Amino acid sequence: MNKIKTSPLLPQEFVVEQISDNEANVIAYPFETGYAVSLAHPLRRFLLSSSVGFAPVAIKIEGAQHEFDSVRGMLEDISDFIINLKGVRFKLKNNAKEVEISYSFIGPCEIKGSDLGGESVEVVTPDAFLATLNEDATLNFSLKIYQGIGYVPSEEIRDQLDDGYIALDAYFTPVRRATYKIENVLVEDNPNFEKVVLNIVTDGQISPHEAFKNALQVMYAQLSVFNSEINIQLPTSIERSEETPELRRLMSRIDELGLSARSFNCLDRSSIKYIGEIVIMSQNDLKNVKNLGKKSFEEIVEKIEEYGFSVGAELPADLLATIKKKIEAE
């Protein structure tokens, strides 16, 4: 007779498999039959529809009245120039939500995405082609770049613009692709449990791991509408124990992060041995580690995120206490 359950198995394994700077697999298992797709499908939708990104929403070109105009000495028409502009992906600096920035180019030259970077904006597609100017050409234009989610057609932007600006279709989503596959996984001789492999590809505005965290936050926020109706608590059978895979990963040695020799030695000389020690530190505490430079700090933060955690993370009180107890016991 099969064992009678009173609650579904709680997945314990979570891995972020970094494929490149802009691509990663998020893997979780084991799920009961049917549960994997029930979680993977809405997460995919949130990734594609709710990830925050940046996009140009309007352009003002000196000497041009509309998108079907042309600029003397520029090989491309304004319409072609705008199409090329949509292939340039921006990232605003200093936590800015919107910016207006002006550019001026004198030919002969070929304008690429890298030419649009500046103090307030970063271009994450530097090789994107924009236009070609002849030797007698001058191109002056201003861009309005906003932060947003999803897709906003130019018709919804046009009424909000100053005179002279041409509204652009704004495609904010930084996630280029989000797909998932469900695989079978063996649990105690039962092959019917499931594993989710969620593949995320971004355009460089944010990392796949950041996109995944954002999607989770949106998903939780949407579900919070039900909090007033029911106080959700984990059943006793699936509460966190001291032997969870999450705790084992936090108590893994820093060797597993694959740090450079300089970063590893700085931590080792400060008697920091475990990944959990870094996770429960504040970023300021990590910066103050003796002889730890800016590049080493950034590398450690990045490696911790690739490992599936973050520096200064707010862990559940029971897990935090267990980590501290185990570290003190070493």
Q: Give me the residue spans of the domains in the chain.
A: 1-51+175-230, 53-171, 244-330
User: Per-residue confidence at 147, pLDDT binned at 50, 70, 90?
Assistant: very high
Pairing of strands 98-106, 109-112: unpaired
Burial class (CB in 10 A: 0-12, 13-18, 19+), 263: buried
DSSP code for 288: T
Q: Report the alpha-carbon distance of residue 186 to residue 188 in Å, rounded.
A: 7
53-171 fold: RNA Polymerase Alpha Subunit; Chain A, domain 2 (2.170.120)
Above pLDDT 90, what percent of the chain? 46
| Residue carrying structure tokens 């500046």 | 118
- pLDDT digits 0-9 by tens, 35-66: 999 999 999 999 999 999 999 999 999 988 88
Provide mean pLDDT across the span 17-45. Answer: 92
Superfamily of domain 1-51+175-230: RNA polymerase, RBP11-like subunit (3.30.1360.10)
Q: Which of 217, 186, 195 is nearest to 47 (CA)?
A: 217
- 240 has pLDDT over 80: no
SS3 assignment, position 160: helix
- 196 has pLDDT over 90: yes
Q: In this structure, are residues 218 and 46 in contact, taking their beta carbons and an 8 Å threshold? A: yes
Lowest mean pLDDT among 4-8, 237-241, 274-278, 294-298: 237-241
Tell whether omega for the bond before 245 is within 30 degrees of 0, i.e. cis.
no
User: Per-residue confidence at 308, pLDDT binned at 50, 70, 90?
Assistant: confident
CATH number of 244-330: 1.10.150.20
Kindly state the tokens that stand for 174: 């930084």
The model scores a pTM over 0.85: no
Kindly state the tokens that stand for 224: 């919070």
